[in-house]
Structure 1
Amino acid sequence: QNGKDAQKLNAQFGTMKATDSCQGDQTACINSQFAQCVSGKWVLQACPASLSCVALPDLQKAGTSINCEDKNVAAAAINSCGVSGGLTGDGSVTPAASSAAASS
């Protein structure tokens, strides 16, 4: 279930914008950046070079985490949970609407 939950979150992150409202201490990924809710607004923090913000399945217990990670490593972590479809469930290793540059 954790793999499917991570895919669902990554798909949702692809539709989010920095101008969207948020509540409490929510965290998310917006434009491949780590986003934290502060006073009802998203504050974005860029990931280190070559990493993207993604939801990952917890491999120890029920749940997910949001971290900066290599997209291929993240997809492999989701696959290790027995689900297919990459980061978002559609076979992609790039979250929808990602601003990350294409790798060659």
Structure 2
Amino acid sequence: MKFQSTLILVALCILSTFSASVTEAKQCFQKQNAREATLLNKKFDKLNKNSPCKTGETVCIKGQVAQCDQGKFVLTSCGPTTECFALPLVNSPGTSIACDKSEDAANRIKLARQCKCLIFIP
């Protein structure tokens, strides 16, 4: 009985260790997402509707959402008071292209950049 209790305790410790490291990895990708969003927005600043593109590609051009269709960008305006931005995802690695208020987009990138990465040492 004592052996089973010890075995269960060890198993629980291993599971909690694994869970902690997954949580920490989740927190760390947010900083990378902020970096990627910032780089994409800088790249978008250099694009115009005549820039070369690949079918299916979505970018922001002059505050509008631009989707590539057969090698040409088709622009769609955002709603009033919003512009197109690359934004960091919050719950998974990556970025998204979305219309948002410029101050809200800047705050989202800033918050993702400030996310703390904890280092787990077993």
Q: Which has the higher contact order (CA 8 A, sep 6+)?
A: 1
Residue identity in the other structure for 2:56? D
Task: Select 1:46's aligned residue among 77, 81, 100.
Answer: 77
Task: Select 1:2's aligned residue among 23, 26, 33.
Answer: 33
If the length of structure 2 is used for normalisation, what is the TM-score? 0.66
Q: Choose 1 or 2 for highest CA Rg.
A: 2
Q: Which residue of 2 aligns with 1:20?
A: 51
- 1:67 matched to 2:98: yes
* Superposed CA offset, 1:50-91 (max 9, x none): 0000000000000000000011111111011125xxxxxxxx
CA contact (8 A) 2:35 2:113 kept: no
How many residues matched? 83
| In structure 1, C-alpha distance between the alignment counterparts of 2:63 and 2:112, rounded to whole Å | 23
Q: Which residue of 2 aligns with 1:33?
A: 64
Consecutive unaligned residues in structure 2, runs of 5 or more = 1-31, 115-122
Runs of 4+ in structure 1 deviating by more than 2 angstroms, as ranges, are none
Task: Answer 1 or 2: which has greater helix percent.
Answer: 2
- 1:79 matched to 2:106: no
What displacement does 1:24 show? Answer: 2.4
Q: Over aligned residues, Cα RMSD in angstroms? A: 0.8
Aligned identity (percent) is 37
Residue identity in the other structure for 1:3? A
Consecutive unaligned residues in structure 1, runs of 5 or more = 84-104
Residue identity in the other structure for 2:70? S
